[in-house]
Chain A
Amino acid sequence: MKASGLQKNILTMALLLIIAVLLINGLRLEHEDKRESSLHEYYLETYEDAGSVNLVETILLNYRAYDTFGEVMVLYIAVAGILILGEEEKEGEKR
């Protein structure tokens, strides 16, 4: 399908437009839900219990330590994967 330069541009423009509309709608809905949700009030009320001044750090390591654990695991798997994939020449002459 030999599309000329112009057709390609129009195609990409249309595609980007659709993606933009979807994103903006998504963000708009996301914003509305936030107002009713009381999670941030809960954070603000009880973050003294964690004993730290830095709310972001408290959320990251205390309220949502499970997510941070997932993040640590993702990083670990990434590093381990690269090192494992690159292992083969070690077997060759070094050992």
Chain B
Amino acid sequence: MKSPIVKTAGRALTPFVLLYGAYVTLFGVLSPGGGFPGGVIMASGVILILVSHDSEKIKSLVENIEWFDTFGAFAFLLVGLGGLFLSGAYFANLWPRSPVMLILLDIVVSLKVFAGTVALFVYFFKQEVEPSSTE
């Protein structure tokens, strides 16, 4: 799994995969896409690096990414409550004419899906590298 080919391919591909994921998320308002698929595409970019490289730095980088997962979920709630407090209706559209709310929710959702998927992968990857003590 750690052959130089996979390493260089991973290093070469990941920025483009992350860029494409960000594009799908941010352009979810105009073209098909949006928070969920964008987040997963970005997660696949990071997983590509996680699989091909074994350096501790990357591991430490993604070590406690599940907090972003929590933060994303609560940010979505805050946006909903913000609508409730600012203009009366839960999840109200605060800027009626402009897609600001949509892009905001898109970004929050993609952050959450990204962090959740990477956290899941880190957990399963850790299982595979050092199986839990129970076995």
Binding site for B on A (CB under 8 A): 49-54, 56-58, 60-62, 65-66, 68-69, 72-73, 75-76, 79-80, 82-83, 86, 88-89, 92-93
Contact = CB atoms under 8 A, between A and B. Distances in A.
Contacts, number: 97
Given A51-B95, A61-B101, A72-B109, A79 B30 contact: no
A69 B91 contact: yes
Contacts of B91: 62, 65-66, 69
B93 A50 contact: yes
B24 to A, nearest CB: 11
Interface residues of B, number: 39
B30 A51 contact: no
B34 A52 contact: no
A93 B130 CA distance: 12
A57 B34 CA distance: 7
A65 B119 contact: no
Contacts of B116: 75-76, 79
A72 B132 CA distance: 29
Contacts of B28: 54, 57
B105 A65 contact: yes
Contacts of B132: 86, 88-89
